[in-house]
């Protein structure tokens, strides 16, 4: 029986209030042993008991319990309906029992039962323990809810706090899986199949992607490339490229190979430039391992815009869409006010651009290399050239390349020329250059290179292209042996030696021979080379507009360009030296040019060589040329000339005689650079002596002219006239060049050449003579007055031009005349133009001539009248006229304007109406016009720092702290002074005691000074004594109604300070008082506002403290009663105290209630 | 060169309002000056008052264009927007579509925007709403008409057309002769 009895806890509810524990115990003891009765009464807020219930611990058998329930449940007992239920075990009991159990278990485990488990290496997890009990022997393992043993987790929080996760405190989410788990569908069956045919869409839907799509990244890349117009990038997989870009030109593949070296270089160069480039590289390399270099560098990025696009695209890809691209569904939906952060990107691209520009130039180089054939894209080349000019870095590199390889390359080029076929026109130009270089192999190559560089800058695009081609050539032909070079050099050496022996022209011819002997088809080559420049020049000449255009800029520009010309001149000059001597028949202009050329070339050669024998040769040459030159203008000794020609022809083997003529226009510029003008002049003068011509004097004059000309030209004077003259000269030359070009074809056979040349020369001579006759006739008619001279002289020779003008001025008149004559004769063809210019001075003269109508007295009178006409008062324009007119006009204009404005306004209104009708919503909005812009600009305010009303948008940082500092300081000072001031008050209050306390006050002031000086600590010390004083003075401390009790000494004191003023105003205190007020540097204004009430507040303190000052009922204090509610303050305080007490009580009560409420639970 | 008639104005405004909605007001009523629409050679030009005065000095048959060409009236008196109007549509556009970099070129070649190329779209874009097309870098590329509403855009398959092409900045190159 007893065993069946269980300790149960019963809940007995619905008890009457009078029920006691004993009653319950007696009542329930019928059924079992009642061990404990606990009666609990629930009370409401007022403390009235609402519920009374009890917990009864009872040991009872089941049957008894049932009986008990059936008997007692729902029965009325002592004013309540009993409700009996089984209750949970009391926690105390439970705790005790658990402890016991735990102890028992421990003992058990120690004894044996758990030993088994431990032996088996297992833990008995099936503990009946209450949740929260620790698993014995395992730290941090806890019985969780539902009886599982789980570890206590120590998690790290974001805030660096450790979170302890105790599984016993939380319900975990473990759930038992139902039995139907076995019926689960296999995973393979889970994916449902989409219906659809074989079309790609359905396939894609099914997740089958053709390998075209399989690597989405690459696809994107390809797309990107497509989008970039360049689209030259090479994919890592060419097959895909072909698929994607069927139009990828094969050029790329071909170009790629030559580009590669460049691209390899490129990363090194940009290193210094910018990191951005690197980054680009890195990025791309990250994306594509193999192809990226090519893709970036070799993409012939024509324009920076495209580059920018490229980069932006790439960055975009990286930044945003790499992840999203794979999924097609990845578009986002944004709100209307969406704004993306593009600025960053832009800036990035901007950075990138710079770097890429470097690439550009390099790309250009690469292209140049690529375009070996040279005939592909002229336009492209030109573009490149332009770019080269733009990018500063690139030309330098180029130059350096030139300088490095100039010697070798050119010679090699030369060799290659001989070995290979004739190149195209541009290359030919370059070849000619190189040819020249070869023959001047001993020249300092730096010069030539510099000249070439200058060429590259100044010359036309064609020549540049040629140069580029040549560069490429050079690069290609780097393999040539040094032996060849040496051979060439030897030949060159030979040539000058021969020169010294035989004569100027021989040297050149021998050079030619030597070169020919070296080359297989040298003669042909040379001829062709000659042809091409000639052609170019011819084309230049033909395009009369072109030539001035081209030459003018050249001349207008710097010395560099002159150097360039010099280079060109050298180019041509060499050949003329060889062959040109025959062709003196050409016009005097041409001859002169040639002479200058000839002179310059050898001299320059000699100069650059720096060898004595070369000088000798040059000297030899120059006399010869000089003689010829002297002959030419004269045209008196054609036979001689012919003779010389013949000799030259015999000796000279190079057939192309005509080139020289063509070259002349260019070579005419050479004298500018000529470094031996003086020598030339001297030589010519010598020749002049030798000559038999009747115009000997004229010649000398010319020579003398030439000298200054040349010298003056040494200074880079550039003038359009000059160029014009040149062009004119070239015009005259042109026919000859044409003739000569016809001769060109028969170069190989000397005999034929010579014959033809002779015939041509004769023909030319005849033509010349005819011309000369014409000139003579024309000259004979002209009685040139001295004033006309300068104009005439301008038409002289190409080379002389302006210098003539200047030189003529400088020189004597005597010289000028013959000069003029000579020049005029020489330039027969220019005569027409000269006549045009002649008219100008005549006009000038006519201007100053008295007009026929003014001749005579009548005429004079007329003139007077006319001169007077303007000043006559009658014809004076009055302001009246002006005003009336202007007013009318103004009115008109105004009317027009107003009408226009009205029209526009009307139109606008109409448009707005239509807008309203269309939108149908914004009727109200558009009704007020101003509201629209206001609305528009409401959100975005353009901050204008110059506007004053925008100042409130500014942040004032500095002012506030400063102010606060000042305030603080002031406050501190106030605080320091306050006690002193309050003391003063006593003495100041009454006028009578003024004198008595005068001295004391002074002393106080003296005290004051140290207070002010001392810092805060002292100030506090001052306060501390001050406060007790105040307290002493205020026995009735509760006079302050709004400060509950004594809050802050400082505050009180501040108010105390203010008391000074009311007292003064009230009682008309003496001016001395003002000193004290001023002493405490202007107590702030706000205090003045408040002064009335606190002032009175302080008064009672005085009254109480210094009673003897006032009688008990001072009439002065009577009025203040109105303001001062000292008694009222007491009353209010009492009421306040009462209220606070009430409140406190209430608070306590509530607190207790809350406590009570919490307690049972 | 003449002002638009009321009917023309209505037609044109209706078209423009498809893209910029009530912002159309801002075009008509500008705070920075008087601007007006002028018809010349069947094309509508958006001209400032200043330029209008200047253009008055040029004979009508010699005048090629003035101000900004917004579009032209077809023979059937419908209005067709030109790409040159993009400068004014883009800043005021209410509904925008951003296209992925990969699809940019396709769009700039005159193709419609597929869903695969759709990078971003303004929410609650309705069907057949005029939209301005931007690149992901927020560069306006052109404009078109939404073929699907925003909600539909979610559902359709990736190759479906989302935006019908109307004009793109590629036309500056492709139709250079017709853009005045």
Find the distance separating the first CA and the last CA of chain B, reported in whole Å.
14
What is the token pair recorded at A364? 């250009």
Looking at mean pLDDT, say which of A39-43, A634-638, A1048-1052, B159-163 comes out highest. B159-163
Q: Which of B14, B22, B105 sits opposite A223 (nearest CB)?
A: B105
Give the Cα separation of A203 and A416 in Å (integer).
Answer: 62
What is the per-residue pLDDT for A54?
Answer: 85
Q: Which is higher by pLDDT, A176 or A516? A: A176
Chain A residue nearest residue B136, CA to CA: A316
What is the token pair recorded at A86? 């089984």
Q: Which of A81-95, A133-147, A870-884, A1070-1084 has the lowest mean pLDDT?
A: A1070-1084
What is the per-residue pLDDT for A998?
Answer: 61
What is the per-residue pLDDT for A56?
Answer: 84
Q: Which is higher by pLDDT, A93 or A770? A: A770
User: With pLDDT > 90 as the criterion, what percentage of chain A qualifies?
Assistant: 2
Residue A652 has pLDDT above 90, yes or no: no
pLDDT in tens, B9-54: 888 888 888 888 888 888 888 888 888 888 988 889 998 888 888 8
pTM: 0.28
Q: Please identify among residues 54-93 of chain B the ones whose CB lies closer than 8 Å to any CB of chain A.
A: none
- Set of chain A residues whose Cβ sits within 8 Å of the Cβ of B88: none
pLDDT in tens, A594-637: 444 444 444 444 444 443 443 344 444 444 444 444 444 444 44
Contact A1097, A1005 (CB under 8 A): no
**Beta-carbon separation of A919 and B17 below 8 A:** yes
Contact A831, A775 (CB under 8 A): yes
Arithmetic mean of pLDDT over chain A: 54
| Burial environment of residue A532 by CB neighbours within 10 A (0 to 12, 13 to 18, 19 or more) | buried
Find the distance separating the first CA and the last CA of chain A, reported in whole Å.
35
Q: How many angstroms separate the Cα of B82 from the Cα of each of A151, A912, B2, B166?
A: 72, 22, 19, 9
* Residues written for chain B: 180
**Beta-carbon separation of B36 and A336 below 8 A:** no
Give the Cα separation of A537 and A463 in Å (integer).
Answer: 11
pLDDT in tens, A25-50: 888 888 888 888 888 888 877 777 77
Phi/psi of residue A152, nearest 5 degrees:
-80, 125
Instruction: Check CB contact of B123 with chain A, cutoff 8 Å.
Output: yes
**Beta-carbon separation of B150 and A936 below 8 A:** no
**Beta-carbon separation of A911 and B104 below 8 A:** no
pLDDT in tens, A853-897: 777 778 888 877 777 666 666 666 666 665 555 555 566 666 766
pLDDT in tens, A436-488: 444 444 334 344 444 444 444 444 444 444 444 544 444 444 344 444 445 55
Q: Top-level CATH class of B1-86? A: alpha beta
Residue A354 has pLDDT above 50, yes or no: no
Residue A157 has pLDDT above 60, yes or no: yes
The mean per-residue pLDDT over the stretch B156-169 comes to 89
Looking at mean pLDDT, say which of A265-269, A445-449, A783-787 comes out highest. A783-787
Query: Going along A925-996, which residue ranges are E strands?
Result: none
| Burial environment of residue B43 by CB neighbours within 10 A (0 to 12, 13 to 18, 19 or more) | buried
ipTM associated with this complex: 0.73
Looking at mean pLDDT, say which of A55-59, A91-95, A693-697 comes out highest. A55-59
What is the per-residue pLDDT for B157?
Answer: 87
What is the per-residue pLDDT for A149?
Answer: 77
**Beta-carbon separation of A338 and B122 below 8 A:** yes
Give the Cα separation of A975 and A591 in Å (integer).
Answer: 109
A1129 band by pLDDT with thresholds 50, 70 and 90: low
Q: Which CATH superfamily is domain A1-89 in?
A: RRM (RNA recognition motif) domain (3.30.70.330)
Q: Which is higher by pLDDT, A97 or A1055? A: A97
What is the per-residue pLDDT for A883?
Answer: 53
A99 band by pLDDT with thresholds 50, 70 and 90: confident
- Set of chain B residues whose Cβ sits within 8 Å of the Cβ of A921: 22
Domain extents in chain A: 1-89
- Set of chain A residues whose Cβ sits within 8 Å of the Cβ of B158: 204, 328-329
For B94-173, CATH number out of 1.20.1250.20, 3.90.170.10, 1.10.1040.10, 2.30.130.10 equals: 2.30.130.10
- Set of chain B residues whose Cβ sits within 8 Å of the Cβ of A907: 3, 36
**Beta-carbon separation of A340 and B104 below 8 A:** no
A1150 band by pLDDT with thresholds 50, 70 and 90: very high
Q: Which of A226, A915, A933 sits opposite B13 (nearest CB)?
A: A915
Q: How many angstroms separate the Cα of A949 from the Cα of each of A329, A933, A939, A954, A1012?
A: 50, 19, 17, 10, 42
Domain extents in chain B: 1-86, 94-173
- Set of chain B residues whose Cβ sits within 8 Å of the Cβ of A937: 31
Give the Cα separation of A734 and A526 in Å (integer).
Answer: 21
């Amino acid at each position: 029986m007893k065993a069946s009895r269980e300790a149960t806890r019963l809940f007995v509810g619905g008890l009457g209030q009078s029920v006691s524990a004993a009653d319950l115990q007696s009542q329930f003891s019928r059924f079992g042993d009642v061990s404990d009765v606990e009666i609990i009464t629930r009370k409401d807020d007022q403390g009235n008991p609402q519920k009374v219930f009890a917990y009864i611990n009872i040991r009872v058998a089941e049957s008894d319990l049932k009986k008990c329930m059936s008997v007692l449940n729902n029965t009325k007992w002592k004013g309540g309906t009993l409700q009996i239920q089984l209750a949970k075990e009391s926690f105390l009991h439970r705790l005790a029992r658990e402890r016991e159990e735990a102890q028992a278990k421990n003992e058990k485990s120690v004894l044996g039962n758990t030993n088994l488990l431990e032996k088996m290496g297992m833990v008995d997890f099936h503990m009946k323990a209450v949740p929260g009990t620790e698993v014995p022997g395992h730290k941090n393992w806890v019985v969780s809810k539902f009886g599982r043993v789980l570890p206590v987790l120590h998690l790290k929080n974001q805030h660096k706090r450790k979170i302890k996760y105790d599984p016993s405190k939380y319900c975990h989410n473990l759930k038992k899986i139902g039995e139907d788990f076995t019926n689960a569908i296999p995973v393979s069956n889970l994916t449902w199949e989409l219906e659809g045919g074989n079309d790609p869409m359905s396939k894609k839907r099914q997740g089958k992607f053709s390998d075209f799509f399989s690597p989405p990244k690459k696809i994107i890349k390809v797309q990107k490339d497509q989008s970039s117009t360049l689209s030259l990038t090479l994919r890592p997989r060419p097959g895909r490229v072909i698929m994607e870009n069927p139009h990828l030109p094969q050029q790329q593949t071909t170009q790629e190979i030559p580009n590669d070296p460049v691209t390899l270089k490129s990363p090194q160069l940009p290193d210094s430039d910018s990191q951005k480039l690197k980054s680009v590289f890195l990025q791309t390399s990250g994306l594509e391992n193999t192809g990226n270099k090519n893709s970036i560098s070799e993409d012939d990025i024509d324009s920076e815009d495209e580059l920018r696009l490229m980069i932006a695209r790439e960055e975009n890809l990286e930044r945003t869409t790499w992840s999203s691209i794979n999924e097609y569904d990845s578009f986002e939906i944004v709100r209307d006010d969406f704004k993306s952060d593009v600025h960053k990107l832009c800036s990035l691209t901007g950075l990138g651009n710079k770097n890429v520009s470097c690439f550009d130039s390099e790309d250009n180089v690469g292209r140049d290399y690529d375009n070996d054939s040279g005939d592909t894209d002229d336009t492209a080349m030109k573009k490149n050239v332009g770019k080269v000019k733009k990018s500063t870095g690139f030309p330098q590199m180029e130059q350096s390349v030139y300088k490095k390889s100039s010697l070798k390359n050119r010679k090699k080029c030369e060799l290659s020329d001989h070995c290979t076929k004739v190149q195209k026109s541009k290359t030919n130009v370059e070849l000619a250059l190189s040819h020249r270089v070869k023959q001047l192999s001993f020249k300092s190559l730096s010069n030539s290179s510099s000249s070439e560089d200058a060429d590259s800058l100044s010359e036309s695009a064609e020549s540049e292209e040629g140069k580029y081609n040549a560069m490429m050539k050079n690069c290609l032909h780097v393999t040539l042996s040094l032996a060849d070079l040496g051979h060439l050099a030897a030949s060159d050496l030979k040539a000058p030696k021969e020169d010294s022996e035989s004569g100027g022209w021989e040297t050149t011819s021998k050079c030619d021979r030597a070169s020919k002997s070296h080359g297989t088809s040298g003669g042909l080559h040379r001829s062709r080379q000659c042809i091409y420049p000639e052609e170019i020049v011819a084309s230049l000449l033909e395009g009369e507009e072109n030539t001035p255009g081209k030459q003018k800029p050249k001349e207008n520009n710097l010395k560099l360009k002159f150097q360039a010309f010099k280079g060109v001149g050298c180019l041509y000059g060499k050949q003329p030296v060889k062959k040109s001597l025959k062709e003196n028949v050409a016009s005097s202009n041409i001859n002169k040019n040639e002479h200058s050329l000839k002179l310059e070339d050898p001299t320059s050669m000699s100069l650059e060589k720096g060898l004595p024998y070369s000088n000798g040769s040059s000297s030899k040459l120059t006399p010869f040329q000089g003689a010829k030159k002297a002959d030419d203008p004269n045209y008196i000794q054609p036979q001689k000339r012919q003779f010389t020609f013949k000799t030259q022809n015999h000796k000279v083997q190079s057939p192309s005689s005509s080139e020289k003529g063509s070259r002349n226009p260019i070579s005419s510029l050479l004298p500018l650079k000529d470094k031996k003008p003086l020598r030339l002049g001297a030589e010519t003068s010598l020749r002049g002596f030798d000559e038999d011509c009747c115009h000997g004097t004229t010649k000398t004059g010319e020579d003398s002219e030439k000298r200054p000309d040349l010298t003056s030209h040494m200074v880079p004077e550039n003038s359009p006239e000059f160029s014009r003259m040149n062009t004119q000269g070239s015009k005259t030359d042109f026919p000859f060049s044409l003739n000569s070009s016809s001769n060109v074809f028969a170069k190989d056979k000397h005999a034929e050449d010579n014959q033809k040349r002779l015939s041509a020369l004769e023909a030319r001579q005849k033509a010349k003579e005819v011309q000369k006759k014409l000139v003579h006739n024309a000259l004979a008619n002209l009685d040139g007055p001295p004033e006309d001279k300068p104009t005439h002289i301008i038409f002289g020779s190409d080379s002389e031009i302006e210098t003539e003008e200047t030189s003529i001025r400088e020189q004597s008149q005597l010289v000028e005349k013959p000069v003029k004559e000579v020049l005029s004769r020489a330039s027969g063809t220019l005569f027409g133009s000269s006549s045009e210019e002649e008219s100008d001075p005549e006009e000038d003269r006519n201007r100053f001539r008295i007009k026929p109508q003014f001749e005579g007295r009548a005429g004079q009178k007329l003139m007077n009248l006319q001169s007077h006409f303007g000043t006559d008062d009658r014809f004076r324009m009055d302001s009246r006229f002006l005003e009336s007119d202007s007013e009318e006009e103004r009115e008109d204009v105004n009317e027009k304007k107003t009408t226009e404005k009205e029209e526009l306004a009307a139109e606008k209104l109409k448009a707005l109406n239509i807008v309203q009708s269309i939108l149908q919503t914004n009727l109200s909005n558009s009704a007020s016009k101003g509201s629209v812009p206001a609305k528009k600009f409401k959100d975005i305010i353009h901050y204008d720092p110059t506007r004053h009303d925008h100042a409130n948008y500014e942040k004032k940082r500095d002012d506030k702290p400063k102010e606060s500092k000042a305030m603080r300081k002031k406050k501190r000072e106030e605080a320091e002074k306050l006690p002193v001031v309050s003391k003063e008050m006593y003495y100041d209050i009454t006028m009578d005691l003024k004198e008595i306390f005068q001295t004391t006050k002074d002393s106080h002031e003296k005290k004051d000074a140290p207070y002010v000086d001392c810092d805060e600590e002292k100030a506090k010390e001052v306060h501390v004594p001050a406060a007790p004083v105040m307290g002493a003075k205020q026995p009735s401390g509760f006079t302050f109604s709004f400060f509950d009790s004594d809050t802050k000494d400082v505050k009180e004191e501040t108010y105390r300070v203010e008391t000074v003023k009311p007292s003064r105003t009230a009682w008309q205190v003496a001016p001395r008082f003002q000193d004290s007020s001023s002493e405490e540097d202007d107590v702030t204004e706000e205090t003045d506002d408040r002064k009335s009430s606190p002032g009175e507040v302080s008064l009672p303190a005085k009254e109480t403290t210094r009673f003897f000052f006032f009688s008990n009922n001072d009439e002065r204090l009577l009025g203040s009663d109105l303001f001062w509610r000292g008694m009222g303050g007491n009353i209010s305080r009492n009421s306040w105290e009462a209220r606070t007490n009430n409140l406190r009580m209430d608070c306590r009560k509530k607190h207790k209630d809350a406590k009570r409420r919490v307690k049972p639970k | 060169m003449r002002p638009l008639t009321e009917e023309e104005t209505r037609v044109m405004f209706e078209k423009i309002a498809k893209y910029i909605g009530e912002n159309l007001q801002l075009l008509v009523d500008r705070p920075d000056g008087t601007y007006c629409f002028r018809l010349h050679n069947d094309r509508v030009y958006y001209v400032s008052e200043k330029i209008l005065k200047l253009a008055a000095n040029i004979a009508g048959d010699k005048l090629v264009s003035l101000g900004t060409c917004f579009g032209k009236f077809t023979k059937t008196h419908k209005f067709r927007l030109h790409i040159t109007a993009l400068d004014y549509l883009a800043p005021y556009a209410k509904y925008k579509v951003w296209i992925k970099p990969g699809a940019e070129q396709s769009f700039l070649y005159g193709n419609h925007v597929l869903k695969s190329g759709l990078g971003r779209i303004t929410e609650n874009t309705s069907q057949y709403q005029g939209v301005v097309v931007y690149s992901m870098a927020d560069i306006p590329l052109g404009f078109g008409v939404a073929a699907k509403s925003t909600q539909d855009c979610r559902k359709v398959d990736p190759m479906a057309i989302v935006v019908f092409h109307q004009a793109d900045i590629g036309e500056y190159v492709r139709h250079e002769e017709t853009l005045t």
